[in-house]
Amino acid sequence: MSAAEGRTRPRWRVWAVGAVLVLVVAGLHVYRNTNVLTADRFCGELVSAAKADAVLPGFGRLDAEGDGLAEGMKGTVCEIEKSSVMLGSGGGTLTVRIGEEDGDAPLTDPAWPYLADESFFSGEVTGGVDAYEGWVLLPEKCWTTKPVIVKFASSQRISDSNGFAALVTDTARTAAARAECGAVPGEPGKLLPPRSDVARPVSEGRVCGLEGLLVGGQVPAGTQVLEAGQTAPADLWSCTLYLDDDSSGFVRDDGFMRYTATRDPLLVAAVRKSPGTSEGEAPDGRKAEVVGARAIVLPCAQGALYLAVEARQQYLETRKRHPDLPQRDAYFESFVKSATETFDCGTTARH
């Protein structure tokens, strides 16, 4: 063996070992930081891997823990996590829940998306998303004793509202198809986002965009009032009032008064299933279904309209300092009067 051959063989061994290491590292990168080798759908094929990957920030591998659709769609829970071995790659967790809920839960339950920040969609698909949570109401054929709702919660802020809405809607479509209880389109309708990213001063006489709604005499004199929510009228709408005062952080963030309205047929049907719903009257004396202390469903020529008012923490705290502030029913009465005009529900005869 020549001296040249002795020097050449070790070099080839070094190159071979190096090539193997490169392949191993590349394989680990593909496995731990991408979804090349993962399934197309997770959670018993309910959730699209591509759509989940698109809404979670950064890059990494998706893994899921949880079963598919539960019996009767009650108590379905699955968790999808994006993780990576590379620092600063982002990630996060999506938790999917499918189950029975009170019909008005998306509009009243504090565990659901905050209405002032929510982008709604209505029509063929009914639901909403904010930066952390989203939901879609399944068709009535999927319900037994209560409405069934698909709900997502993210551990990280989601900046793509349209992508998030598409993920929740696609999951709802798959769930309904699996349960053979109705058709849900693969994509949501046009999203109705809040009018602005931050609360803005109200316009007296058109508070929250409602014809004739005033704040004069309903807040302490000299207090500036701000509003946040969607443009009225809309099939699914909400507006929250805030007092620009010295309220503490939590109290201020919770707001003063929240108004909600929907004429979405599926959501109205869900609200009607809320516990305690009964026949009664609206503040103006017309026939109505009473859903709560200040929540009603009105029969209108264009279809039923749900209206609700909820006093928030700022109202409760302010009334302690200003006992002459109107009672909650006064806000409900003025809201119903303005909302029926704005939402074109003033044609139903009183009984």
Classify residue 258: in a domain, yes or no. yes
Locate 152 and state its tokens: 């997502």
Residues 165 and 243 in one domain: no
Better-predicted residue by pLDDT, 58 or 323: 323
Indicate whether 162 pLDDT > 60: yes
Distance CA 307, CA 295 (A): 6
Classify residue 246: in a domain, yes or no. yes
Q: Are 95 and 67 in contact (CB under 8 A)?
A: no
The region that residue 323 occupies, defined by phi over 0 for left and psi between -120 and 50 for alpha, beta otherwise, is alpha
Residues 47 and 163 in one domain: yes
Distance CA 90, CA 287 (A): 54
User: Which residues are paired to 58 by β-bridges?
Assistant: 90
Residues 158 and 267 in one domain: no
Q: Is the pTM of this model over 0.75?
A: yes
Q: What is the mean pLDDT of residues 98-116?
A: 91
Identify the domain containing residue 103 by its residue range.
41-179
- Rounded CA Rg of the chain: 26
What Å distances lie between residue 285 and 134, 142, 271, CA to CA? 36, 35, 21
Classify residue 325: in a domain, yes or no. yes
Task: Determine whether 130 is exposed, middle or buried from the number of CB atoms within 10 Å of its CB (0-12, 13-18, 19+).
Answer: buried
Classify residue 19: in a domain, yes or no. no
Q: What is the mean pLDDT of residues 116-127?
A: 95
Write the DSSP string, 169-225. Answer: HHHHHHHHHHHTS----SS----B--SSSS-EE--TTSGGG-TT---TTTS-TT--E
Task: Determine whether 111 is exposed, middle or buried from the number of CB atoms within 10 Å of its CB (0-12, 13-18, 19+).
Answer: exposed
Distance CA 63, CA 49 (A): 9
Indicate whether 329 pLDDT > 90: yes
Last residue of a domain, one of 179, 208, 240: 179
Indicate whether 257 pLDDT > 80: yes
Classify residue 10: in a domain, yes or no. no
Residues 48 and 175 in one domain: yes
Locate 250 and state its tokens: 């939590």
Residues 325 and 228 in one domain: yes
Q: Where are the alpha helices (DSSP H) in 45-160?
A: 49-55, 105-108
Residues 52 and 169 in one domain: yes
Residues 164 and 93 in one domain: yes
| Residue carrying the six token digits 């009914």 | 126
Q: What is the mean pLDDT of residues 257-276?
A: 96
Locate 98 and state its tokens: 């499918």
Classify residue 99: in a domain, yes or no. yes
Residues 225 and 175 in one domain: no
Write the DSSP string, 313-335. Answer: HHHHHHHHH-TTSPPHHHHHHHH
User: Mean pLDDT score of the chain, rounded to an integer?
Assistant: 88
pLDDT at 85: 58
Residues 269 and 326 in one domain: yes
- Maximal C-alpha separation, the chain: 112
Residues 76 and 159 in one domain: yes
Residues 154 and 282 in one domain: no
What Å distances lie between residue 124 and 63, 264, 267, 268, CA to CA? 31, 10, 11, 14
pLDDT range class, residue 230, cuts 50, 70, 90 = very high
Indicate whether 91 pLDDT > 70: yes
Residues 163 and 238 in one domain: no
Q: Residue 140 has what DSSP assignment?
A: G
How many domains are contained in the chain?
2
Classify residue 207: in a domain, yes or no. no
Helix (H) or strand (E) holding 122: none
pLDDT at 22: 44
The residues, ordered by sequence, that sit 6+ positions from 25 with a Cβ below 8 Å of its Cβ are none
Classify residue 317: in a domain, yes or no. yes
pLDDT at 27: 45
